[in-house]
Amino acid sequence: MKVKKLKGFRDVLPEESPAWIKLEQVVSQIFTRYGFAQVRLPLLEQSTLFSRTIGEATDIVEKEMYTFVDTGGEQITLRPEGTASAVRAFVENGFDRSNPKARWYYIGSMFRRERPQKGRFRQFNQVGVECFGWKAPGADADVITMLWDLFTALGLSGRVSLEINSLGCADDRKAYSDKLAKYGAERIDKLCDNCKKRLGKNPLRILDCKSPSCQEATADAPSPVDSLCDECTEHFSTVRILLDDQGVPFKVNPRMVRGLDYYSRTTFELLTTELGAQNAVAAGGRYDALVEQLGGRPTPGLGFAIGLERLILLLGDEWASADTPDVYMVYTGAEAFLMAMRLRRLLMLRSTTTTIDFEQRSMKAQFKSANTCGAKWAMVIGESEVEKGEVTVKNLAESQQQTLSINNAIELVSTKIIASDEE
Ligand code: ATP
Ligand code: MG
């Protein structure tokens, strides 16, 4: 019996990987310009890290985490998101004491046991950003603008929309939560069973419920924006002014609460209408209490995460294509094979991509493969080339060929390739 991959897990095969590589390059380039540096954090953490930060009454912690006891008896969890680990690392490495301002980003896999669908997997990848140490609204605007610049660089700014909201500080959130609990209790018959439970534990989550009856019941629910204190109102207003000034288009969505418990003040999402129910491509917000909550010195912070599978779906197949080899080595006979292997190596040392077949097939078959794989040149070594120590260089697209010394052949092909790369 053949072993199959787990449900909700994927293989990224060579035809898809150029898009992943290109995406990581664009991300690093833009984020580096904004002063963000990459961190690489563990995939496994102590389970309590997530239950304490994401929140006990969230879908992730209630039912989606891959948690198990390892052979040492420790309860551990495959990370469902990156912020908790980043904050843990920030505190554990003493950044909160020595250098409380930091701009970090990461790229990597997250694990959530949800129902797999298009754009929803059990192992998925995120690019995440965490910006520590700035309480001021400039940081919010900067991080959101960077996200917008990335989508613009990817050519997607016309296909996503940015929504923002503010949940206020802890006091505002508490006041709002009470207001919403009261509002929900008055409509309890119309809420799904899950939301009935949420009402006692975490009323904000009823706004996030995907059930149509809950959405209808909460259609005119109070907005967190109406419960903001003066300072939070001012903060939110400055974020909007700064975004306007940067020309970043956004809409205020007063219902946006986000699925994780740690957010305060600004929250935001990048949405698309092109992926069905999976409409969020990126999401984030401020989490000013999280560092302290994990035992660090009080340090404000904010961040976002982008779902890369959804982003790659949006970018489509045409966005990045597999590299084709520059040169195909065509040879006949044992001695020609040795020459071909040596020549291939010299070409590769000069940054030329080459390919060769080891099975000593007919020249005709080799030419056919050269055309199918999209090589631009063939280096042909037959009996007469072996005798004279030469090589025939064939431009496959133009069907032109010339026989040259080995050095001249290398020179010709590598300069032509450099020239065509620069075009
Ligand atoms: P959703 O509402 O779609 O479940 P979420 O609010 O749970 O998203 P976050 O925890 O904010 O998502 O994660 C940020 C981004 O990661 C999402 O906007 C989405 O693009 C992506 N993402 C989240 N869960 C998955 C998943 N199971 N498969 C693929 N991408 C995901
Ligand atoms: Mg989710």
Euclidean distance between CA atoms 313 and 357, whole angstroms: 34
- Is ligand 1 within 6 A of the CB of residue 303? no
Name the residue with the closest Cα to ligand 1, atom 16: 307
Tokens matching residue 348: 């590769």
Structural domains in the chain, sorted by start: 17-169+229-315 (3.30.930.10), 327-422 (3.40.50.800)
Euclidean distance between CA atoms 80 and 375, whole angstroms: 42
- Sign of the alpha-carbon dihedral angle for 109, 114, 115, 119: negative
Longest dimension (CA), the chain: 94
CA-closest candidate to residue 297, choices 44, 42, 5, 87: 87
CA-closest candidate to residue 85, choices 133, 50, 60: 50
Q: Which ligand has the nearest atom to the CA of 277? A: 1
How high is the pLDDT of residue 23? 98
Axis crossing angle, helix 137-153 with helix 230-245, rounded to the nearest 10: 30
Instruction: Using the mean position of ligand 1's atoms as its centre, give its distance from the Cα of residue 143 in Å.
Output: 19
- Is ligand 1 within 6 A of the CB of residue 194? no
- Is ligand 1 within 6 A of the CB of residue 282? yes
How high is the pLDDT of residue 423? 65
- Is ligand 1 within 6 A of the CB of residue 205? no
Counting Cβ atoms within 10 Å, is residue 78 exposed (0-12), middle (13-18) or buried (19+)?
buried
Euclidean distance between CA atoms 20 and 308, whole angstroms: 8
Q: How many CA atoms are closer than 13 Å to the CA of 10, on its beta-carbon side?
A: 20
Query: Quick one: which H or E segment has residue 336?
Result: helix 334-349
CA-closest candidate to residue 147, choices 157, 136, 135: 157
> CB under 8 Å to 149, separation ≥6 — which residues?
30
Residue 372 pairs in a beta bridge with none
Query: Quick one: which H or E segment has residue 345?
Result: helix 334-349
How high is the pLDDT of residue 182? 93
The answer to whether 150 and 270 are in contact (CB under 8 A) is: no
User: What parts of the chain have a pLDDT lower than 70?
Assistant: 259, 423
Instruction: Using the mean position of ligand 2's atoms as its centre, give its distance from the Cα of residue 219 in Å.
Output: 21
| Secondary structure class of 299 (helix, strand, coil) | coil
Instruction: Using the mean position of ligand 2's atoms as its centre, give its distance from the Cα of residue 24 in Å.
Output: 23
How high is the pLDDT of residue 45? 98
Give the nearest ligand 1 atom to 116 CA.
27
Euclidean distance between CA atoms 104 and 90, whole angstroms: 10
- Is ligand 1 within 6 A of the CB of residue 283? yes
Q: Tell me which residue has tokens 């496959």.
A: 396
- Is ligand 1 within 6 A of the CB of residue 120? yes
Query: Quick one: which H or E segment has residue 161?
Result: strand 161-166
- Is ligand 1 within 6 A of the CB of residue 281? yes
At residue 252, what are phi and psi to the nearest 5 degrees? -85, 125
The pick from 117, 278, 302 for probing ligand 1's pocket by mutation, whose C-beta has the most ligand atoms within 8 angstroms, reads: 278
Provide the 10 A C-beta neighbour count for residue 94. Answer: 11
Put residue 353 in one of left, alpha, beta given phi > 0 → left and psi -120 to 50 → alpha.
beta
How high is the pLDDT of residue 56? 82
- Is ligand 1 within 6 A of the CB of residue 64? no
